[in-house]
Amino acid sequence: MKKLLFFSVFLIPILGFNQGNDNLFAYQSYASRPTVEISYKGTPYVAADYKLGTTTIHGKTDFKAPMRYNAFENKIEFLDQEHVQRELLRRPYISATIDGVTYTVETYLEDGKEKFVYFNTRYLGETTLLYKPKKILVKEGSTAAYDKIFKYKDVSSYYIKKGNGPAVPVKINPKSILDALDHTQELEAYVTGIKLNLRSEEDVIRVLEFYNSLTKEVESKKCQA
């Protein structure tokens, strides 16, 4: 994918001071730049091809259409009946399933502010594991003074969401996962007892299943007291 950016000849007005005549005068110099060609490697999409997708609005199936997820701009694109590209509204009550993967809108914290973004739910429970597919543009190198190459880099990440609170970022490793949860002693004993690897998404999900059952048990005892 390539995009050409053109810079035309332009005027730069510059003020100068003629010390000999003590007169303030203005003069112009001209500068120009050659065409800048920027090349993009890779794709901003999770999958560039459109796949059959289904939207759900307020829990009810709404419509089906060819869809794809733009991980660079965080949006779902679809083709209408005239094959015109449209964009799905990013709302908490609207979700879409594309080629078997469901995209839901959740709140998360960024710089102390809550924002809406698309997530894939990896595990659903009172405490949920979310995956945020995301790509950014990074400079790969320069082959000439005005020839730059950029590539789309995958920077997808995981989040944990407790109840109705905002999702918080975590890494798939023991420290990050356990720091995001309470009941640390019980969890550490559980992880050690069955030798879980918290660098594995599958084992993180097992920990969250245990954690949710543990918190339910604690809440149940509080209610009975």
Q: Is 82 helix (H, G, I), strand (E, B) or coil?
A: coil
Q: What is the distance between the alpha carbons of residues 126 and 183, in angstroms, rounded to a whole number? A: 15
Q: Do 108 and 167 form a contact (C-beta atoms < 8 A)?
A: yes
pLDDT the model gives residue 149? 86
* Confidence check: pLDDT of 45 > 60: yes
Q: Do 189 and 196 form a contact (C-beta atoms < 8 A)?
A: no
Q: What is the distance between the alpha carbons of residues 15 and 90, in angstroms, rounded to a whole number? A: 50
pLDDT the model gives residue 125? 95
Structure tokens at 169: 């970022």
Cα–Cα distance list, 120 to 102, 124, 131, 190 (Å): 6, 10, 5, 27
**What's the predicted TM-score (pTM) here?**
0.78
Mean pLDDT of 101-122: 91
Q: Please, which pLDDT band fits residue 72 given cuts at 50, 70 and 90?
A: very high
* Confidence check: pLDDT of 109 > 70: yes
